[in-house]
Structure 1
């Protein structure tokens, strides 16, 4: 059975296959892939035009990791799983092909595809993105939580009185978007569960519940991980995957990619084992990797900045509460990778949200400290400390940034 959903000339990867790629691709992304053979194969089998072939060949001038990522992205947009295996076998990448097959068919992670047909419009996602920008810039005089409470109460009231089903569906999905943002303002498990349960209990019987259920499961996974309930968090994440598997809307999967990455970030904060860091980075990389950048340029920029900043923090041993683990070592490859990510963030620095700029400066401070440029580190940390007044969600986060600034001052 073909597990990919075809939309025009673009393949949308099922989340079942994404879980396979997540484990295998990072091992080969910088490997000795014969780029020319792969490009020629795609052209010979009429997956790409001659112009696309020439454009891809020109990318061979890039550094190996960048060009491999570009080629992999093209491959996984165009081919279903069986043809991906065929491609790698025919260009001599048998180990890569064998490991993909082994992971997909032999590891027990394949779940029955539900082919979710989610009634979520792009307008709903734009609504969330606008709200996300406003939240991350903290533009509200009364603060984030009062604004989110106002929105959620207004939407709940409109849902009750709305009789047109399509408009009611849009209101329900927007309500889920508000709750997705609202629950992030709390770390207390009971409060988070209360908010999420209220969202689920308020679902009308005459609307499509799939999107709300995905949001519920993914946010419960994060909630349980915050509470150090690892097994429960994994169950909720599997539930979210099952409900979202087969969904052909990349912007819906963006939420899931983000929360999956965040779950591994929290796990790494509690137990800084190497495999937890690798999970964090590979999940962030693949969130970027499978995001179709043309589905909405503004949305792609927003989510790209989120993934980039989360990965940079993970590599530099900065916890999700912005506590810098100064006693944790960062090796040379991790530092170099983090600098590359921050360089990509810097390209859009003029349009960075306040919160993302705060993270950027905190990470740059950590980079400078590790490179023993203490004066520069103090300067970046001071900027992060200043931005933290508006950029953090929790007082403890601001305290952690302030403590790192003081640590650098003592060190300097």
Structure 2
């Protein structure tokens, strides 16, 4: 982003502002007229006490490059201070923050909870800065965690009440049925006997069965039906695709010629293969997984994918040859177990090179936006000479809904991948009490 001159800063009224990165807690706003980067005065306490490291710099959401704040804490910068309703930027569901209120009002909750905690700390006579002038608020929040969490709960309740009276954001969205109908995904129904009460995962039996030891998950229940119908079945979900991507794309992702490579340290997955410092170190581009990464290296991406083998036998050989070289990247993508590698290799045999290449490009173009939501099962018919009738299946229990990641994957699959997909709904038709 081009930096403004001092004359431009003093003359421009900053009437045309756009959020630089909506998912930064301390938001920056770019002026379209003078290219200044501003923060709003209503975020002063966040800038001083909670997020001082974000007060003077940010990251451009489009280029993923760092940028400097040139006009800090200016008056009337954010949407609220301008009397406008801000656009919604909902987050993904997270443990402890899966409700729509948490997902849509995440920044309001964070901001208000911290403002109130700072006020509480002042009332208690607690110092907000240390002898070195550095903020102590984060340490105080950890030290007085119960108080902070109590404040946060009150804030969430107040925002929830306010939303019911006068919503700031629109939670309305298409139903699961509408998404499936639009994407022409067929649902197959499986009646089952549910074991109650549920302990851990849902367990089911065939109708009229009372053999509790043979109860299985809904995914295995559907897989058993498929096997009886003469189909081969592999449990899938997302990790085999992560391993497939890491193994066949590591040379493009970690290309030594990429000027934006930097050392990346991350915790050993379940402690596996970590060094003495508990970390695994590798090389990654600073915009890895973003659409920017793919567009920035579009020519190299095209060349790499086109260079991959066109026969299953050759692609399997290359996969095996590259497996040890891709170990760090598989670790980074949580696809480090032997079963992940085995299943990803099997995907090459099931899908064939051309479909694998489409999947690799699909992931490369927006990895962090597309790496989740893959179906539970893949099934196929196999003869001595070929694999045919490949189909992916997402399994749902009676009350289970599609997650946001699954909805996104179904829509993207309909538009881009066009893998054969169906939903298997295991209905609670009978119940059997657990002793």
| TM class, shorter-length | under 0.3
Flag the structure with more relative contact order, 1 or 2, with Cα contacts below 8 A and sequence separation at least 6: 2
Q: Hey, which of these two has a bigger chunk of helix by percent?
A: 1
TM-score by structure 1 length?
0.25
TM-score by structure 2 length?
0.24
Q: Hey, which of these two has a bigger chunk of strand by percent?
A: 2
